[in-house]
């Protein structure tokens, strides 16, 4: 049975190569259907109204010729899965690794990414978070301009390769989190409005017209897409892009609908499934349980954590970093989760956020020193490794992997990758490519950046420059940093103090009120994470019977009842036994 939701059409035909068109029959609520069976790989599309143009299936699983071509039927049940014994993996207690398929390996495919999964196992990662793979126009892109949410981008290998990737990850004990975008559709190849009111007229967000969450069929389109990834492709959870851009006035909110559907599928499958929100709202409603009035999502990204760590490491206080110049910013996010929890945000010009209640776990905040947005949305796409010393990069590693939240690494961070990660596109339409490049430059000029350092997103070299150089991971200070990340990940998995996800176990001290004196004593139970980001030696009192459990430089030591830290160093101090 072939079905399609097309309430705008007065007539719908199924078109296949070497076949007569088949008229679909109108049903209720804008649905059309025909009693036709398709086999794996069969090409097809729909013809709407009296037009003779063939359009892809809005729920197409595969687009061999791109978003403008015909769809190819994909038999999701054909893959012979080997993960029947996979128990799943809860997010709590995990370490997330964010990667982009196109730049993770030289080949930029799902199959080539499989060859690097053992590296992630050795690193100590538990969850692989994959940037969007849904189909977009062009060959390379960050993935956030998708127009066919059910299809896996063909240049990555298509849906069959995606299933192989997930199966291979599970075989190595790695969970897979898929990044999905439900807040807008891309600017090129979006035929959904020809079928029905997928977009809300007169309502826009940062990236384009808002998705029409007033329409039941559109809400189902989103929920069923989420279930497809977890059911048919066996992923272990989803990262929901920019949920603050989901304009929904209905009850329950679409995020609650997604959480309820995911929880029900989790029970059915007998393994944990995680939904992680990206949100700048600092609103704990997202991750609070439904029993306590929340939406019941599993976790959310914490921009406040990133901003406070970034300022501490770099001293950069431009734009939204301004508020985080306060010396108590890092201690506050360490112990409270949000920095803006009802406080004034100078960047927004208003009070922002709300306190995190005690019934929300610190582990429900995904914390990171680097991610694709915070690197790629800089003018030159520069990583911390391109401006910071190896010593400060080592401190970043300690902060990230001892954090009270669930830590996340961005691909290559573990060895201080020297390659940038820049904003790249491959729009086939010259006018769209030109507008994208022009808009990028204007955006950074407004922020005071030098426009000469902004790469052209359409230049193929911008994409090529952003690919990881795996050879450097085994050399010089890169290898030392990689060894530190591996040691810290193992330490995190082994120490019971770092498995205590209670707010009561946390404490923090900035060591004074001098804004330039960035030295911190951060505590998790019996462990003290001491950090010196000053230019001189710093000493902290320690209790008797303590020893250094991990240090970033040899000169860090305990003597005469004090932990002594050289500049740009960190130590973890704990009980001697």
Q: What angle do CA 425, 411, 122 make, to 5 degrees?
A: 150
Question: Catalytic: which of 241, 257, 283, 414?
Answer: 241
Residue 377 is assigned to a ligand binding site: yes
Residues found in the chain: 577
Tokens encoding 72: 């190819």
Sheet containing 569-575: order of strands = 506-509, 519-524, 527-532, 569-575, 546-551
Task: Show the 3-state SS of 286-331.
Answer: HCCCHHHCCCCCCEEECHHHHHHHHHHHHCCCCHHHHHHHCCCHHH
179 among known catalytic residues: no
Q: What angle do CA 548, 403, 414 make, to 5 degrees?
A: 85
Do residues 489 and 125 touch, judged by C-beta distance below 8 A? yes
CA gap 327, 218 in Å, rounded: 46
Using DSSP's 3-state secondary structure scheme, residue 214 falls into: coil
Question: Catalytic: which of 236, 257, 278, 568?
Answer: 278
Residue 374 is assigned to a ligand binding site: yes
Residue 307 is assigned to a ligand binding site: yes
Do residues 448 and 373 touch, judged by C-beta distance below 8 A? no
The values of phi and psi at residue 289, to 5°, are -65, 155
CA gap 485, 355 in Å, rounded: 32
A 10 A CB-CB count for 311 gives 21
CA dihedral (189, 192, 193, 198) positive or negative: negative
248 among known catalytic residues: no
Residue 259 is assigned to a ligand binding site: no
Residue 303 is assigned to a ligand binding site: yes
CA gap 410, 97 in Å, rounded: 6
Residue 96 is assigned to a ligand binding site: no
Q: Give, to the nearest 10 degrees, the angle between helix 390-401 and helix 476-494.
A: 20
CA gap 417, 395 in Å, rounded: 16
CA gap 179, 152 in Å, rounded: 12
- Return the bridge partners of 532, or none: 519, 569
Do residues 529 and 335 touch, judged by C-beta distance below 8 A? no
Tokens encoding 190: 């979006």
Residue 306 is assigned to a ligand binding site: yes
Do residues 539 and 562 touch, judged by C-beta distance below 8 A? yes
Residue 376 is assigned to a ligand binding site: yes
Residue 240 is assigned to a ligand binding site: yes
CA gap 543, 532 in Å, rounded: 19
Residue 243 is assigned to a ligand binding site: yes
Q: What angle do CA 191, 193, 195 make, to 5 degrees?
A: 85
Using DSSP's 3-state secondary structure scheme, residue 175 falls into: strand
Residue 40 is assigned to a ligand binding site: no
CA atoms within 13 A on the CB side of 244: 11
- Return the bridge partners of 507, or none: 523
Do residues 314 and 378 touch, judged by C-beta distance below 8 A? no
CA gap 548, 571 in Å, rounded: 7
Residue 184 is assigned to a ligand binding site: no
Residue 373 is assigned to a ligand binding site: yes
Unique residue bearing structure tokens 């088949």: 22
Unique residue bearing structure tokens 């520069």: 382
Residue ranges at the known binding site: 239-244, 303-307, 372-377
Just list the catalytic residues.
Answer: 241, 278
Residue ranges at the known binding site for substrate: 239-244, 303-307, 372-377
């Amino acid at each position: 049975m072939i079905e399609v939701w097309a309430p705008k059409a007065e007539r719908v035909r199924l078109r296949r190569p070497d076949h007569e068109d088949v008229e679909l029959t109108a049903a209720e609520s804008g649905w059309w259907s025909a009693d036709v069976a398709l086999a794996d790989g069969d090409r097809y599309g729909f013809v709407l109204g009296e037009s003779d143009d063939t359009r892809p299936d809005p729920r197409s699983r595969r687009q061999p010729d791109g978003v403008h071509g015909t769809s190819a039927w994909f038999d999701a049940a054909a893959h012979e899965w080997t993960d029947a014994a996979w128990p799943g993996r809860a997010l709590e207690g995990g370490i997330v690794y964010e990667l982009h398929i196109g730049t993770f390996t030289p080949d930029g495919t799902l199959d080539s990414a499989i060859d690097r999964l053992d590296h992630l196992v050795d690193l100590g990662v538990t969850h692989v978070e994959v940037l969007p793979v849904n189909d977009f126009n062009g060959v390379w892109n960050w993935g956030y301009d998708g127009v066919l949410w059910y299809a896996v981008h063909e240049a990555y290998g298509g849906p069959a390769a995606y299933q192989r990737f997930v199966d291979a990850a599970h075989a190595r004990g790695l969970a897979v989190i898929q990044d999905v975008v439900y807040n807008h559709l891309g600017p090129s190849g979006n035929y959904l409005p020809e079928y029905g009111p997928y977009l809300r007229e007169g309502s826009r967000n940062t990236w384009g017209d808002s998705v029409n969450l007033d329409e039941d069929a559109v809400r189902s389109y989103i929920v069923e897409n989420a279930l497809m990834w977890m059911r048919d492709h066996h992923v272990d959870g989803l990262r929901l892009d920019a949920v603050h851009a989901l304009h929904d006035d209905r009850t329950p909110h679409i995020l609650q609908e997604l959480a309820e559907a995911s929880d029900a599928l989790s029970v059915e499958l007998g393994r944990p499934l995680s939904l992680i929100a990206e949100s700048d709202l600092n609103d704990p409603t997202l991750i609070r349980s439904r029993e306590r009035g929340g939406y019941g999502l599993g976790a959310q990204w914490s921009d406040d954590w990133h901003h406070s760590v970034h300022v501490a490491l770099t001293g950069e206080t431009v734009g939204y970093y301004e508020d985080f110049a306060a010396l108590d910013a890092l201690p506050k996010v360490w112990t409270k989760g949000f920095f803006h929890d009802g406080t004034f945000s100078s960047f927004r010009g208003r009070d922002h956020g709300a306190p995190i209640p005690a019934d929300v776990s610190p582990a429900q905040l995904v914390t990171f020193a680097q991610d694709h947005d915070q690197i790629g949305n800089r003018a030159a796409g520069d990583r911390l490794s391109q401006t910071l010393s190896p010593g400060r990069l080592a401190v970043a590693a300690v902060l990230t992997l001892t954090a009270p939240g669930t830590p996340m690494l961005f691909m290559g961070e573990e060895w201080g990758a020297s390659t940038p990660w820049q904003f790249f596109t491959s729009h086939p339409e010259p006018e769209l490519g030109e507008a994208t490049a022009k808009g990028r430059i204007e955006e950074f000029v407004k922020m005071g950046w030098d426009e000469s350092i902004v790469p052209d997103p359409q230049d193929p070299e911008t994409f090529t420059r952003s690919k990881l150089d795996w050879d450097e991971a085994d050399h010089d200070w890169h290898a030392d940093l990689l060894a530190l990340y591996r040691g810290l990940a193992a330490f995190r998995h082994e120490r019971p103090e770092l498995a205590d996800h209670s707010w009561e176990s946390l404490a923090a001290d900035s060591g004074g009120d001098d804004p330039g004196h960035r030295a911190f004593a951060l505590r998790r139970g019996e462990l003290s994470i001491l950090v010196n980001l000053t230019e001189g030696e710093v000493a902290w009192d320690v209790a008797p019977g303590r020893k250094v459990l991990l240090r970033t430089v040899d000169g860090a030591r305990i003597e005469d009842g004090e932990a002594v830290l050289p500049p740009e160093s960190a130590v973890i101090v704990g009980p001697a036994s």
